[in-house]
């Protein structure tokens, strides 16, 4: 078939036929959407969701994305899979509205009017609803009062049925208190580590052992299929350089969307931190306070803040003088941000406590909230507009490149009119190609392994932002590495396993002795103490899934009954103290927010369960899968 097409590529009949072949790659799958008959995309219990509704919802989602990410490009927007997201939204909305209709829920005209009149965006300088502002708002967004009010009515109805369904969400103060105490309780262990490395020199691995392991486990040394590809990307970004965007257009866009380029207030600060979670044992908090006070006294005596940070601070920026760089209020915890943003440049705070420990903050500089200048964002705007313009031409470029390939032109020749150059991968594992090409459907990679080297795939593959046309230059089938290549790797693995076995044996012997006697001084001096941990956490560098649960079950003054394998070796653990629970004062400070969060979580779970039930009971038919996918 392809040979026939190539031999007749110059005829208009073939070009028309080819247009029909590639039409499935057009974004919407059909021609213009304005006017004409409505096309049903999805049926939900017999109720249609049309392509016009889907297109409108896609536009709304894209507008929201652009508002939240002002500098996002058209190519990046495509990674959100907007059509699938819009389809899911419309299906769930339809199901909820059908259920609302079934139980007789409605939104009255008065409710709708009061809601719209309450929006600050529609208020005049006197704080009152202004119809002229309302209509101008809709005009700027290419919307109509009818559509906007229908949307608000739908949202209100969904909120109303959500309130009905989740009205029973409740947690008593006693139950919340118990949950908080359980989740926030902390405990520490003392542990004796038997490092694997201490036993490596006591282990030897024979050639027979290596050969036996290789023969029994050779599959784990398999190398995946590798492909050498040449590909042509046809995306808004790759075509953007062909577009001409004049300065006036860029300037007009900036003037119209200035608010999109607003940057919040930022500060540049340094800090010194001594870690001690706020619900730690009193002695842990006391030691941390003493250390932060030492740092504060050093600064008062005239020592340089950066030097003191290097000496006392405990985080990963300590060696940079505690420099945190620039950040916004929302990027820091409130207890830290409240103090940091109240300082003036050069000012140093008193020691403060946050949920993670104690800090001293020095403010270096401050940037007020501002709208970025035109010069700062003009290139970003130009790129965005160029990609938007290129996305309109993308289908025509794809068709013309395909026609050139049918005429036996190379990828280089086919892409040249559009300044597109093919990219070569070299031999590359097939499992990694999907991410490199950003394929929308990674399973389509299987097509590449069934063609002969030198073949150009007849149909382009769809990426997250456009299309890719691929030529398979070479295929290296999967294979198993020879024993000569992996024998050192196997030997190291077996050596570590045997060393771990020796470490485990030593730990078991030591634990047997310690269980029945007091801790001798020689052992006590080698005991290390873990940080305070909560039940849902793991101990840093001592990760073992059973260690934390067993720690909270243990009786004070006892050894845990079994050794634990961790990354560095094997440990035995001693629990000397009771579980530490938050104080009543801590509970009182967090009670309201904690209970609110639990109720909110319960409501979300209840409504999610309700939606799942509606979806399972519904008859949902996808009528135009190519349009959605």
pLDDT digits (tens, 9 = 90+) for 577-621: 999 999 888 888 888 888 888 888 898 899 999 999 999 999 999
Distance CA 195, CA 504 (A): 10
DSSP H stretches of helix in 12-144: 12-22, 51-68, 74-77, 82-103, 109-117, 131-140
Tokens for 515, please give them.
């269980």
pLDDT (0 to 100) of residue 127: 85
Q: Phi then psi for 355, rounded to 5 degrees?
A: -55, -20
Kindly report which listed range (56-70, 93-107, 190-204) carries the lowest average pLDDT score: 56-70
Cα Rg of the chain, angstroms: 33
Distance CA 433, CA 447 (A): 13
Q: Residue 462, CB half-sphere, CA atoms under 13 Å: how many?
A: 15
Cα–Cα distances (Å) from 295 to 118, 313, 347, 348, 360, in that order, read 52, 9, 16, 12, 8
Task: Assess contact for 460 and 398: CB atoms under 8 A.
Answer: yes
Distance CA 180, CA 176 (A): 6
Q: Give CATH 3.10.50.40 domain extents, the chain.
A: 265-368
Helix (H, G, I), strand (E, B) or coil at 470: strand
pLDDT (0 to 100) of residue 126: 86
pLDDT (0 to 100) of residue 7: 40
Helix (H, G, I), strand (E, B) or coil at 130: coil
Q: Which residues contact 150 (CB under 8 A, 6 or more apart)?
A: none
Assess whether pLDDT exceeds 90 at residue 3: no
pTM score, two decimals? 0.56
Q: With pLDDT > 90 as the criterion, what percentage of the chain qualifies?
A: 50
pLDDT (0 to 100) of residue 38: 62
Question: Exposed, middle or buried by CB within 10 Å (0-12, 13-18, 19+), for 221?
Answer: middle
The more confident residue out of 139 and 358 is: 358
- CB burial of 570-591 (b: ≥16 within 10 Å; e: otherwise) equals bbbbbbeeebbebeeeebeebe
Pick from 239, 265, 258: which is nearest to 381 by CA?
258
Phi-psi region of 321 (alpha: psi -120 to 50; beta: other; left: phi over 0): left
pLDDT (0 to 100) of residue 11: 38
**CATH number of 265-368, picked from 3.30.530.20, 3.10.50.40, 3.40.640.10, 2.70.98.30:** 3.10.50.40
Q: Which residues contact 42 (CB under 8 A, 6 or more apart)?
A: 48, 49, 87, 90, 91, 620, 621, 622, 623, 624, 628
pLDDT (0 to 100) of residue 465: 83
Q: How far is CA 303 from the centre of its chain?
A: 42
pLDDT (0 to 100) of residue 264: 85
Distance CA 278, CA 354 (A): 7
Confidence of residue 333 (pLDDT cuts 50, 70, 90): confident
- Read off the DSSP letter of residue 505: H
Q: What is the mean pLDDT of residues 4-17?
A: 37
pLDDT (0 to 100) of residue 73: 65
Assess whether pLDDT exceeds 50 at residue 224: yes
**CATH number of 223-259+374-477, picked from 1.10.1200, 1.10.3470, 1.20.1070, 3.10.50:** 3.10.50
Tokens for 316, please give them.
């990963």
Residues paired with residue 455 on neighbouring β-strands, in sequence order: 472
Task: Assess contact for 52 and 59: CB atoms under 8 A.
Answer: no
Q: Kindly report the number of other CB atoms within 10 A of residue 195's CB atom.
A: 14
Task: Assess contact for 37 and 25: CB atoms under 8 A.
Answer: no
Confidence of residue 176 (pLDDT cuts 50, 70, 90): very high
Task: Rounding to the nearest 10 degrees, give the CA dihedral for residues 300, 303, 307, 310.
Answer: -40
Distance CA 38, CA 49 (A): 9
Distance CA 22, CA 26 (A): 7
Assess whether pLDDT exceeds 70 at residue 409: yes
Kindly report which listed range (5-9, 230-234, 478-482, 591-595) carries the lowest average pLDDT score: 5-9
Q: Which residues contact 218 (CB under 8 A, 6 or more apart)?
A: 480
Q: At what angle do helices 483-515 and 207-217 cross, to 10 degrees?
A: 100
Q: How far is CA 529 from the centre of its chain?
A: 34
Distance CA 453, CA 449 (A): 9
Task: Assess contact for 627 and 41: CB atoms under 8 A.
Answer: yes
Find out if CATH 3.30.300 is the number for domain 186-220+486-575: no
Q: Kindly report the number of other CB atoms within 10 A of residue 319's CB atom.
A: 12
Q: At what angle do helices 82-103 and 145-165 cross, to 10 degrees?
A: 70
Question: Exposed, middle or buried by CB within 10 Å (0-12, 13-18, 19+), for 44?
Answer: buried
The residue to which tokens 């032109």 are assigned: 409
Q: What is the mean pLDDT of residues 308-314?
A: 92
Distance CA 587, CA 180 (A): 8
Task: Assess contact for 74 and 86: CB atoms under 8 A.
Answer: no
Tokens for 37, please give them.
């008959």
Confidence of residue 70 (pLDDT cuts 50, 70, 90): low
3-state percent helix, strand, coil for the chain, nearest multiple of 5: 55, 15, 30
Task: Assess contact for 486 and 210: CB atoms under 8 A.
Answer: no
- Read off the DSSP letter of residue 439: B
Distance CA 472, CA 230 (A): 7
Task: Assess contact for 430 and 447: CB atoms under 8 A.
Answer: no
Q: How far is CA 377 from the centre of its chain?
A: 26
Task: Assess contact for 509 and 192: CB atoms under 8 A.
Answer: no
Q: What is the mean pLDDT of residues 398-427?
A: 94
pLDDT (0 to 100) of residue 9: 41
Tokens for 350, please give them.
């008193």
pLDDT (0 to 100) of residue 71: 66
pLDDT (0 to 100) of residue 555: 93
Residues paired with residue 193 on neighbouring β-strands, in sequence order: 571
Kindly report which listed range (135-139, 329-333, 431-435) carries the lowest average pLDDT score: 431-435
């Amino acid at each position: 078939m392809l040979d026939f097409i190539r031999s007749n590529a110059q005829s208009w009949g073939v070009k028309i036929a080819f247009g029909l072949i590639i039409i499935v790659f057009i974004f919407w799958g059909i021609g213009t959407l304005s006017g004409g008959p409505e096309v049903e995309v999805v049926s939900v219990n017999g109720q249609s969701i049309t392509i016009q509704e889907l297109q409108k919802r896609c536009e709304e989602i894209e507008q929201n994305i652009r508002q939240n990410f002002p500098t996002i490009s058209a190519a990046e927007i495509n990674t959100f899979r907007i059509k699938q997201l819009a389809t899911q939204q419309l299906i769930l909305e339809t199901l909820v509205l059908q259920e609302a209709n079934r139980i007789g829920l409605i939104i009255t005209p008065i409710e709708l009017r009061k809601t719209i009149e309450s929006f600050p965006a529609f208020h005049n300088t006197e704080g009152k609803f202004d119809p002229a502002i309302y209509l101008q708002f809709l005009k700027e967004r290419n919307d109509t009062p009818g559509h906007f009010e229908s949307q608000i009515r739908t949202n209100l109805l969904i909120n109303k049925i959500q309130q009905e369904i989740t009205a029973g969400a409740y947690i008593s103060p006693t139950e919340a208190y118990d949950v908080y105490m359980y989740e926030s309780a902390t405990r520490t262990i003392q542990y004796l580590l038997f490092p694997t490395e201490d036993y490596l020199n006591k282990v030897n691995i024979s050639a027979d052992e290596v050969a036996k392991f290789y023969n029994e486990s050779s599959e784990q040394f398999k190398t995946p299929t590798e492909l050498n590809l040449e590909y042509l990307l046809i995306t808004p970004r790759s075509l953007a350089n062909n577009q001409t965007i004049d300065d006036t257009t860029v300037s007009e866009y900036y003037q119209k969307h200035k608010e999109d380029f607003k940057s919040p207030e930022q500060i540049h600060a340094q800090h010194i931190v001594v870690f001690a979670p706020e619900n730690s044992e009193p002695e842990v908090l006391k030691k941390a306070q003493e250390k932060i006070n030492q740092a504060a006294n050093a600064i008062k005596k005239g020592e340089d803040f950066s030097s003191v940070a290097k000496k006392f601070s405990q985080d990963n920026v300590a060696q940079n003088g505690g420099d945190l760089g620039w950040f916004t209020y929302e990027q820091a915890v409130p207890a830290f941000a409240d103090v940091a943003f109240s300082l003036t440049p050069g000012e140093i705070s008193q020691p403060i406590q946050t949920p993670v420990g104690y800090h001293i903050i020095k403010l270096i500089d401050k940037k007020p909230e501002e709208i970025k200048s035109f010069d700062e964002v003009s290139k970003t705007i130009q790129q965005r507009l160029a990609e938007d313009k290129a996305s309109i031409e993308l289908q025509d470029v794809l068709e013309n490149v395909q026609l050139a390939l049918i005429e036996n032109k190379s990828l280089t020749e086919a892409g040249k009119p559009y300044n597109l150059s093919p990219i070569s991968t070299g031999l590359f594992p097939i499992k990694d190609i999907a991410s490199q090409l950003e394929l929308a459907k990674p399973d389509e990679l299987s097509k590449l392994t069934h063609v002969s080297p030198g073949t150009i795939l007849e149909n382009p593959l769809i990426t997250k932002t456009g299309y890719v046309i691929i030529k398979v230059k070479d295929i290296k089938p999967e294979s198993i590495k020879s024993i000569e290549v992996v024998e050192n790797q196997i030997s190291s693995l077996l050596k570590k396993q045997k060393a771990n076995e020796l470490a485990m044996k030593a730990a078991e012997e030591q634990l047997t002795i310690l269980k029945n006697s007091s801790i001798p001084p020689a052992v006590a001096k080698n005991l290390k103490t873990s940080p305070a941990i909560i039940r849902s956490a793991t101990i840093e560098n001592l990760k073992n899934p059973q260690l934390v649960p067993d720690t909270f079950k243990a009786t004070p003054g006892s050894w845990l009954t079994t050794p634990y394998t961790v990354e560095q070796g094997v440990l035995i653990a001693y629990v000397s103290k009771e579980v530490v629970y938050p104080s009543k004062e801590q509970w009182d400070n967090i009670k309201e927010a904690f209970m609110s969060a639990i109720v909110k979580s319960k409501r979300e779970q209840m409504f999610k369960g309700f939606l799942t039930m509606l979806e399972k009971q519904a008859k949902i038919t996808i009528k135009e899968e190519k349009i959605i996918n």
